[in-house]
Amino acid sequence: MKRTALILSLLLILILPLVAYSQSMNIGLARAATSDIRHQPLAAAQLQGPRMQLLEQRTGLTEAQIVKLYDASGARYFGQFACAVLTADRLGVDRAALLAQLSKGSIFDDLVRMGVDPQRSRKAIRESLSEMVAVRKSAS
């Protein structure tokens, strides 16, 4: 009886760390798999929507150029991308640098990391969001 209990104890001591390790690896693999999905693909409605038209007007880029820029960016969704583009243009910062940073954090954090004053960043982001909301409301 004591021998069986000893064997079971040793097995538990050896197996539990392996189980915990394998579970942590599964979580790591799941995170790695989801991090490969950079952002949501653009829907047809977004291609013809008010945000796309706003970006075309404000940047002078064509729809194809904007889609290519979106695909190359670290943005998680089109609204974040549009806000980042408008904000970068509003502040006069390097648009490409901001878009590349988006996968690492928020637009605000990335702007501050790039050396932009936090108050200017907040104000520019708010103005960009307000502009996007106004365009969306006027389109509906």
Residue 69, Cβ neighbours under 10 Å: how many? 18
pTM to 2 decimals?
0.69
Q: How far is CA 83 from CA 29, 30, 41, 76, 124, in A?
A: 31, 29, 17, 12, 10
pLDDT of residue 137: 86
Structurally, how many domains does the chain consist of?
A: 2
Same-domain pairing of 106 and 126 = yes
Same-domain pairing of 31 and 50 = no
Same-domain pairing of 32 and 53 = no
Same-domain pairing of 55 and 20 = no
pLDDT of residue 40: 75
Same-domain pairing of 31 and 64 = no
d(CA 27, CA 70): 29
Same-domain pairing of 3 and 67 = no
Residue bearing tokens 């974040």: 80
Q: Which domain holds residue 82?
A: 44-139
The per-residue pLDDT string of the chain (140 residues; one tens digit each, 9 = 90 and over) reads 666 655 655 544 555 454 444 444 433 433 333 344 456 777 777 878 889 999 999 999 999 999 999 988 888 888 999 999 999 999 999 999 999 888 788 899 999 999 999 999 999 999 999 999 998 888 77
pLDDT of residue 13: 59
pLDDT of residue 49: 85
